[in-house]
């Protein structure tokens, strides 16, 4: 382990070699984090959203309502969802009549039965989140964290290697200034 980290006392190992070894260990640690962190974030988000959806599903109810108006069959202008808001009537909780605008498919006739999601008080509500939506959100969050950790790893590697290379070039230059006069036969003063 001491050799791998550059702390083995080898007299031939230069300080820059030790820096390269330390950078390698930092990059290995960041790579482990780049895998573990997104997985942990995705799992935590999935559990949290699944719990929230289960709580929400306990207070959302799917009932049948009757439309009081019809929806246009389509034409030149159709909402992006493909659904039109129309008035509908339902009874929920038991015996309490409610009327509100609910989205229905284009072409739904007046008096047609439609499915409506309501909360405990009978007011219209969005349906509970599906497992597919929750999973997609968790996977996208994990991928976002993976991308960020990948960028951090790449930046650390690039900056670290660049700094080491600059120091290496400077060290070679200093050593060459000492060796070149002896090698070429020229003196420093010429």
The whole-angstrom separation of Cα 86 and Cα 102 is 6
Please tell me which residue, 19 or 2, carries the higher pLDDT value. Answer: 19
Residue 136: C-alpha distances to residues 2, 43, 46, 49, 130 (Å): 44, 12, 9, 11, 10
Q: How confident is the model at residue 6 (pLDDT cuts 50, 70, 90)?
A: low
Asked if the structure places residue 107 within a domain, the reply is yes
Q: Collect all residues with Cβ–Cβ distance below 8 Å to 50 and sequence separation of at least 6.
A: 131, 134
E strands present in 15-96: 60-67, 83-91
In a shared domain, residues 154 and 173: yes
pLDDT tens-digit readout, 105-115: 888 899 999 99
Q: Which two tokens stand for residue 26?
A: 């930092």
Asked if the structure places residue 102 within a domain, the reply is yes
In a shared domain, residues 136 and 46: yes
Among residues 75, 92, 119, the one where a domain terminates is 119
Nearest Cα neighbor of 21 from 1, 37, 39 is: 1
Lowest mean pLDDT among 14-18, 86-90, 125-129: 14-18
- The mean of the pLDDT values for the chain is 87
pLDDT tens-digit readout, 147-187: 999 899 889 889 988 998 898 899 889 988 888 888 887 76
The whole-angstrom separation of Cα 58 and Cα 65 is 20
In a shared domain, residues 50 and 66: no
In a shared domain, residues 89 and 46: no
pLDDT tens-digit readout, 134-151: 999 999 999 999 999 989
In a shared domain, residues 112 and 80: yes
Q: Give the pLDDT of residue 79.
A: 65
- By the 8 A CB rule, do 65 and 90 touch? yes
Collapsing DSSP to helix, strand or coil, 12 comes out as coil
Residue 73: C-alpha distances to residues 66, 70, 105, 107 (Å): 18, 9, 9, 4
Q: How confident is the model at residue 24 (pLDDT cuts 50, 70, 90)?
A: confident
**The pLDDT of residue 12 is above 60:** yes
């Amino acid at each position: 382990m001491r050799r791998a980290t550059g702390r083995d006392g080898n007299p031939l190992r230069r300080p820059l070699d030790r820096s390269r070894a330390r950078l390698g260990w930092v990059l290995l640690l960041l790579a482990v984090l780049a895998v573990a962190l997104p997985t942990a974030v995705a799992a935590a988000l999935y559990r949290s959203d699944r719990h929230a959806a289960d709580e929400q599903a306990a207070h959302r109810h799917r009932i049948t309502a009757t439309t009081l108006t019809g929806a246009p069959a389509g034409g030149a202008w159709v909402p992006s969802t493909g659904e039109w808001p129309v008035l509908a009537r339902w009874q929920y909780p038991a015996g309490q009549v409610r009327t509100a605008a609910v989205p229905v498919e284009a072409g739904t006739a007046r008096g047609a039965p439609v499915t409506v999601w309501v909360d405990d008080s009978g007011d219209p509500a969005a349906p509970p989140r599906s497992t597919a939506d929750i999973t997609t959100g968790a996977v996208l969050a994990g991928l976002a964290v993976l991308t960020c950790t990948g960028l951090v790893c790449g930046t650390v590697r690039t900056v670290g290697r660049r700094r080491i290379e600059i120091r290496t070039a400077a060290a070679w230059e200093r050593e060459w200034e000492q060796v070149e006069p002896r090698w070429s036969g020229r003196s420093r003063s010429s």
